[in-house]
Amino acid sequence: MIAFVVRRLLQSILVLLAVGFIAFSLFTYVGDPINNMVGQDTTLAQRAELRERLGLDDPFVVQYGRFLLNAAQGDFGISYRHRRPVAQLIAERVPATLELSLVAAALALFIGVPMGVYTGLHRRGFLSQVFLALSLIGISLPTFLIGILLILVFGVLSQDINAAIGFHLVPQLPTFGRGDTVQLGWWSTGFLTESGLLALILPSITLALFQMTLIMRLVRSEMLEVLRTDYIKFARARGLSNRAVNFGHALKNTLVPVITITGLQLGSIIAFALITEQVFQWPGMGLLFIQAISEVDIPVMAAYLMLVGFFFVVINLVVDLLYYVVDPRLRADKAVAAGHQ
């Protein structure tokens, strides 16, 4: 077990090195940061001098090497745009992204799984058909469009809609930013203020919708599969209650693929929160990254890509470890396999 974790950690370092290498080889093509850093009246000599000071004329391998060397000492450089240490910038933004991602993941799980179970059990029910139709929207509409639609309905049109139907149906919700936040040490949280919680609603729904429908459809098809198996018939034959059969036996056995997908999706929620963050001006890492791209802020881009790579690696590792917890067969197989070696 420990050997497994150590091996995976070593592999993850290789993955991160590869991510960094690819990132730096791409930075050659994203444009020249200098023109975004100086005013139009800055002379050519001053521009050239700045480029040299930042080492932008070096081949990308040299730039990458320098980045690694500094990063190994915990120094991720200074943002070209903000003129502040990148580590500090990212530390400020991580709470916003993680809070949004966690709320979105929780929404996706706690709504997606029950909906999946329900549609699996009541295949022909009217409500199931409604859920399935809605899930098509979640799967097929791109995130930014959902975000903009939500802004349109809950920000721009809510008063008109309420006026048209004559009663207060559609609440007016914040359409950008994080609302008021509270500092807990270095962590800034929006969970403790009313405006912070309200501000979470639209972005987290936007971010969760795709995952929610994915999980729902996955649970549904797994449920349908499992409900056909012999041990479910057996359980029924034993006279167990529906509840015990559905949740104790059926749902539990659908969980392995659900955990895999949810875990991987948590990584992509964090990574792809950037689109949601951009639409809602959510001050997280993704927004920082998007702005870094448009301004060619190489230190921020490099650090962000490495960090997201790191998140993926860690989440994958955790998912692999969770298998052992959920599926006893894995533990048994491993023991048997080890015994034969």
**Which spans of this chain sit near other proteins (rule: CB under 8 A)?**
30-48, 50-51, 53-54, 78, 80-84, 148, 151-152, 155-156, 158, 172, 174-178, 278-281, 283, 287-288, 290-291, 294-296
Strands (E), the chain: 182-184, 187-189
Q: Of the two residues 108 and 151, which places its CB atom closer to other proteins in the complex? A: 151
Q: Of the two residues 34 and 314, which places its CB atom closer to other proteins in the complex? A: 34
Interatomic CA distance for residues 65 and 52, integer angstroms? 17
Of residues 190, 209, 203, the one with CA closest to residue 96? 190
Three-class DSSP category at 83: coil
Q: How far is the CB of 286 from other proteins (least distance, A)?
A: 11
Q: Of the two residues 54 and 219, which places its CB atom closer to other proteins in the complex? A: 54
Q: How far is the CB of 140 from other proteins (least distance, A)?
A: 20
Q: How far is the CB of 122 from other proteins (least distance, A)?
A: 39
Structure tokens at 214: 């994915």
Residue where the block lists tokens 């298998």: 323
Q: Of the two residues 224 and 293, which places its CB atom closer to other proteins in the complex? A: 293
Q: Of the two residues 151 and 305, which places its CB atom closer to other proteins in the complex? A: 151
Amino acid at residue number 182: V
Of residues 312, 306, 297, the one with CA closest to residue 27? 297
Give CA 213 to chain center in angstroms: 15
Three-class DSSP category at 141: coil
Q: How far is the CB of 61 from other proteins (least distance, A)?
A: 20
Q: How far is the CB of 44 from other proteins (least distance, A)?
A: 5
Interatomic CA distance for residues 77 and 86, integer angstroms? 6
